[in-house]
Amino acid sequence: MITTTDLSADLKAIAEKVKAGQRITDEEALLLFEKASLGFVGSLANEVRIRKNGDKVYFNRNFHIEPTNVCVFSCNFCSYSKLYAKRDEGWELNIDQMLHMVKKYDGQPITEVHIVGGVHPKMDLQFFADLLKAIKTHRPELHIKAFTAVEYDYMFRKAKVSVEEGLRFLIEAGLNSIPGGGAEIFHPEIREKICADKVNADGWLLIHETAHQLGLHSNATMLYGHIEKHEHLVDHMRRLRELQDKTGGFNTFIPLKFRNKDNDMSNIPESTLVEDMKTYAIARIYLDNFPHLKAYWPMLGRQNAQLSLSFGVDDIDGTIDDTTKIYSMAGSEEQTPSMSTEELVTLIKQAKRIPVERDTLYNEIKNYGSADRKEVNPAMN
């Protein structure tokens, strides 16, 4: 039986490890989830944030293309997709339509297009290679971050090519990096219940490992706040931490909050704000080899994304420009997700942080805080 004294000693030991820059164990992460206060983990997460990135908070100028919401898979948590049998209820964009979306940003300082969508059986490897080539022909400098591991797994299997062959083919067509979607929860006990028919944890990790070996960077996500338990979250992050030890190819980790509108898991209450912030903080503490922790503001909402900056987060994604429907259809705080650069800068400065515009690979484009350091809380330096 653990006494209050023992618990205090255990938490103190964890705090000492974190302050010394030492890695915490799975058991210690679980203890933080179950026994530590929000203030305690928030304080430790901020120590890690400051050590890694100071008071900088990153964002980029980006927009999304979602080729289709028609999907062969039926994930219980998804409010976005329409099964292929009901494809008349969804949308399917052709290459010309998507290229028109790119052309809308001609002359604007956009640095990234983010392309993800449903898994459509007629949108195959060649189709997406042609899309990438068309975008690069029109705007060669635009960074293309495209397709989740779920999409890759399907298109590669359908094309009867290996993961390496398929990725090389798309790299030649213009692919620059990979988003982190489709990870959900790796543990088979949970994955079987929420997304049984799509690529498993090993397949997701293999695709990202192969991408890293080929010189691509990628992101990683985790869908939290549904039927999983704390040990499943720790298991998920452990697998990511192990792969990052091996390849160093992940840029950022993005916890994604489950939203319960219009899906097969609508009976499950959403996580509280305290649980949200605690998940961010513990992720920042545990994933010691991830350079960045991102709060996806269209999913959390502006105010909560701003709050997350006090719990280890150093990135709040980009301008988006109302080009994504994945979370608005699930009942997110932002039903029209669009923020100007000026709004993002203001939001970050209000949190006493230094706004930094970045490209996809975290090369700094513009630091908006150099002349305003008086706004930064000296206690946070």
Domains of the chain: 24-380 (3.20.20.70)
Q: How far apart are the first and last CA of the chain?
A: 40
Confidence of residue 232 (pLDDT cuts 50, 70, 90): very high
Residue 115's nearest CA partner among 143, 137, 138, 90 is 143
Q: Which of 21-25, 42-46, 88-92, 127-131 has the lowest mean pLDDT?
A: 88-92
pLDDT: which is higher, 374 or 273: 273
Contact status, residue 142 vs residue 135, Cβ threshold 8 Å? yes
Residue range 329-340: mean pLDDT, rounded:
52
Contact status, residue 232 vs residue 185, Cβ threshold 8 Å? yes
Residue 143's nearest CA partner among 172, 100, 114, 117 is 114
Whether the per-residue pLDDT at 185 is higher than 70: the answer is yes
Confidence of residue 370 (pLDDT cuts 50, 70, 90): low
**Mean pLDDT computed over every residue of the chain:** 86
User: Which pLDDT score is estimated for 205?
Assistant: 98
Model confidence pLDDT, tens digit, residues 275-301? 999 999 999 999 999 999 999 888 888
- Say how many residues make up the chain: 381
User: Which pLDDT score is estimated for 228?
Assistant: 93
Residue range 258-281: mean pLDDT, rounded:
84
User: Which pLDDT score is estimated for 264?
Assistant: 64
User: Which pLDDT score is estimated for 263?
Assistant: 59
Q: Please state whether 31 falls in left (phi above 0), alpha (psi between -120 and 50) or beta.
A: alpha
User: Which pLDDT score is estimated for 362?
Assistant: 96
pLDDT: which is higher, 267 or 12: 12
Residue range 177-202: mean pLDDT, rounded:
91
Whether the per-residue pLDDT at 113 is higher than 50: the answer is yes
How many Å apart are CA 97 and CA 138, to the nearest integer?
14
137: helix, strand or coil? helix
CA distances in angstroms from 256 to 41, 144, 220, listed in the order given: 19, 22, 10
Confidence of residue 265 (pLDDT cuts 50, 70, 90): confident
How many Å apart are CA 74 and CA 241, to the nearest integer?
29
**213 contacts: CB under 8 Å, gap ≥ 6:** 164, 247
HSE, side-chain direction, 13 A CA sphere, residue 298 = 21
Residue 362's nearest CA partner among 46, 58, 102 is 58
Buried b (16+ CB within 10 A) or exposed e, 341-364: beebbebbbebbbbbbbbebebee
Q: Which of 163-172, 247-256, 317-326 has the lowest mean pLDDT?
A: 317-326
Whether the per-residue pLDDT at 373 is higher than 60: the answer is no
Residue range 215-238: mean pLDDT, rounded:
96
Residue range 108-120: mean pLDDT, rounded:
89
User: Which pLDDT score is estimated for 86?
Assistant: 54
Whether the per-residue pLDDT at 307 is higher than 60: the answer is yes
Contact status, residue 236 vs residue 185, Cβ threshold 8 Å? yes
Contact status, residue 213 vs residue 247, Cβ threshold 8 Å? yes
User: Which pLDDT score is estimated for 336?
Assistant: 52
DSSP state of 24: P
pLDDT: which is higher, 258 or 144: 144
User: Which pLDDT score is estimated for 330?
Assistant: 39
How many Å apart are CA 246 and CA 251, to the nearest integer?
14
Share of the chain above pLDDT 70, in %: 84
How many Å apart are CA 215 and CA 233, to the nearest integer?
28
Strand pairing category for 62-65 and 250-257 = unpaired
